[in-house]
A and B are shown apart, each in its own frame.
Chain A
Amino acid sequence: MKNPFDYLDKVMGHSGRLQIMSVLAANDSYDFTSLKELLQITDGSLATHIKALEREKYITVNKSFVDRKPSTRYKITEKGRTAFKKHIDALNELVKGQRGR
């Protein structure tokens, strides 16, 4: 069997990005402000993580105006969902492997 470590996603290795992915996997879409509040991180670091995930095409960004205020919503892509699932499965494998030892 291949080492479960190999299945861990490089981008989601960072806990901030993994947290963003888990919120987007659980919801149809999520907006910047709610995400920031939920994760309790700064605008800057959230924006950086979002950029990294967008570059991997794990998420899509949708900018629009609600009541003339800018609103940015994020959605997980199919690719992102597959990668997230694989990453979580690998984490589960690792936990199981250590338990069995």
Chain B
Amino acid sequence: MEEKTNYEKDLASIRNLMERSVKVISLSGLAGVMAGLYALAAAVYVYFQVYLEQISRSRHYFDDNPEKIYHLLAVALITLLASVSTGLYFSHRKAKRVGTSLWNSSSKRMVINLIIPLVSGGAFVLIILMHGYIGLIAPACLLFYGLALINASQNLFDEIRYLGYLEIVLGIISSIFIGYGLIFWAVGFGVLHIVYGVLMYRKYDA
């Protein structure tokens, strides 16, 4: 009888070890929550800066106000930097708590898999911006971000893959409703991050 529990325990611990060796367990749910809050704050700010003027849906708005583009790019960059650094902070804290390092075999692989679609998407977004297709920026961001998440999901908790699917669906819908990009962007990067962050935090961090 004693042996039975031993073999079962061995198998269970091997399964657990295999999973831990692949997944980035240090990624904290709080990173997602904070990234979502920053995204919502940025979206509200941009809404009052640009959308409130109610001319954003005209394609020539930015031709007449080129400085607005730089303004928006600066907001986007600050949001990105704030999200990444806060994410690193919370993940570093969690890594310390669970006794692993932030920068290990699986997190390296995860970052590489995440960055390739993300950088391609970033370049693509800058190019469509250059051509003046402002309305396609939010859909492109959502689509490439979703693809990046799915690409990196092999080394992340399973739920992240579904977040990726949702981002892609949002991206496609928002490319139909040009002019409402900011709202879709706020849902995809704000609301979904907060919802997923809370779910992940309750499941894996607590």
A residues bordering B, Cβ < 8 Å?
15, 18-19, 22-23, 25-27, 30-31, 33-34, 37-40, 88, 91-92, 94-95, 98-99
Contacts and interface: CB of A to CB of B under 8 A. Distances in A.
Interface of B: 3-4, 7-8, 10-11, 14, 17-22, 99-101, 104-106
A65 to B, nearest CB: 16
Contact of B100 (A25, A37, A95, A98): A37
Nearest to A39: B17
Closest 4 CB pairs of A and B: A26-B18, A34-B105, A98-B4, A23-B21
13 contacts: A22-B21, A23-B21, A31-B105, A37-B101, A38-B100, A38-B104, A39-B17, A40-B99, A91-B11, A94-B7, A95-B4, A98-B7, A99-B4
Contacts of B10: 15, 18, 91
A95 to B, nearest CB: 5
Contacts of B22: 26-27
A33 B101 CA distance: 10
A94 B11 CA distance: 11
Contacts of A25: 18
Contacts, number: 55
Contacts of B101: 34, 37
A90 B188 CA distance: 47
B105 A19 contact: no
A91 B104 contact: no
Contacts of B19: 26
Contacts of B3: 94, 98
Contacts of A27: 21-22, 105-106
Contacts of A22: 14, 17-18, 21
B14 A38 contact: no
A95 B104 contact: no
A22 B22 CA distance: 11
Given A27-B22, A98-B3, A37 B104 contact: yes
Contacts of A23: 17-18, 21
Given A15-B10, A88-B14, A38 B21 contact: yes
A52 B3 CA distance: 26
A33 B100 CA distance: 11
Given A22-B17, A25-B18, A34-B106, 5 more contacts: A19-B17, A26-B18, A33-B104, A95-B7, A98-B4
A40 B21 CA distance: 12
Nearest to A94: B7
Interface centre among A25, A38, A99 (most CB of B within 10 A): A38
B4 A19 contact: no
Contacts of B11: 88, 91-92, 95
B94 to A, nearest CB: 15
